Amino acid sequence: MTRAQKGIKATILTIAVNMALAFIKVFTGIIGNTYALIADGIESITDIFSSIIVFGGFKIGSKPPDANHPWGHGKAESLAALFVSLILCLVAAGIAVHSIKEIVNPHQAPAPYTLVVLVVVIITKELMFRFLTKKSKDLDSLALEASAWDSRSDSLTSLAAFIGIGTAVLGGEKYMNADDWAALFASGIILFNGVRIMRSATDELMDTIPGPEVIGRIRTIAKEIEGIVDVEKCLVRQSGSGLFLEIHIEVNGDISVSRGHEMAHQVKDALLGSDLKIIDAVVHVEPAKRAS
């Protein structure tokens, strides 16, 4: 099974779970008179759309390079993660606004049985978070990581709703709006994760270089080739789970063009054969600076 197929399979499972949870939470929230649970259900509905976007990102991102996209379609995954983050931010704003309205206008206390539903939801979403987190690491996918944190956000909003509803049920009329405060708190969690994912997705789309440890590994691999004096320049950008790079190696200026060309191929082969998931590498040969 290919990387894209594994990602799509995980995403389809996520969509199915979110559809079931969204229906249960919204329905129970309406009959149980708790906006915290309804807001939680709305967040699950957005999870469905988010998962569909991630699904599309994998489908497009797995396409091979073509005449119009010589560098491949890997950025589709970053775009999917960006769209998911925007959805999270919009959902957070919507829940916050409605929660404030509910706080200002007191309503009937929520039904106790809604707590049972929330326990099931919290356990299910936390299991989904762990599953998707493992998949995102295995497949090195920012889009799946975004989907995982979508699930964690849902788990946390459900936990906040549980605390709020429990307080409202046990505290009586004095704490009637506790579930609305819980929904407001949950919106802050959703917003935080939305902004965090947005920054990561934007970094990839803007070709921000990977961490220094990746650059260091590339330089080390190149300098292990016999005859390489130094690495003058190393430019790296990410596309999906893979890397494209341009590297300038310094060699003895007195060697033949043929030998320099051979060393460049040795460097490229070593890089492509490493565990860094390098899609392609352009190797330039430069004469080493002579000591003055």
pLDDT value at residue 292: 44
Q: Where in the chain is the domain with CATH 3.30.70.1350?
A: 212-287
> Alpha-carbon distance 233 to 219, whole Å?
9
The fold adopted by the segment(s) 212-287 is: Alpha-Beta Plaits (3.30.70)
Q: Which H, E and C letters describe 36-60, residue by residue?
A: HHHHHHHHHHHHHHHHHHHHHHHHH
Q: What percent of the chain has pLDDT over 70?
A: 92
The fold adopted by the segment(s) 3-205 is: Alpha-lytic protease prodomain-like (1.20.1510)
Q: Over 60: is that where the pLDDT of 291 sits?
A: no
| Lowest mean pLDDT, pick from 102-116, 211-225, 233-247 | 102-116
pLDDT band at 290 (very low <50, low <70, confident <90, very high): low
pLDDT tens, residue by residue, 108-148: 667 778 788 888 888 888 888 888 888 888 877 767 777 78
Q: Over 70: is that where the pLDDT of 163 sits?
A: yes
pLDDT band at 248 (very low <50, low <70, confident <90, very high): very high
pLDDT band at 241 (very low <50, low <70, confident <90, very high): low
pLDDT value at residue 268: 92
Segment 155-183 shows an average pLDDT of 75
Q: Where in the chain is the domain with CATH 1.20.1510.10?
A: 3-205
> Alpha-carbon distance 263 to 117, whole Å?
64
pLDDT band at 269 (very low <50, low <70, confident <90, very high): very high
> Alpha-carbon distance 163 to 181, whole Å?
10
Diameter of the chain measured on Cα atoms = 88
pLDDT value at residue 109: 65
Exposed/middle/buried for residue 6 (C-beta within 10 Å: 0-12, 13-18, 19+): middle
**Of 282, 232, 237, nearest to 253 (Cα)?**
232
Q: Is the pTM of this model over 0.85?
A: no
What's the chain's average pLDDT?
A: 80
pLDDT value at residue 107: 62
Between 162 and 287, the higher pLDDT residue: 287
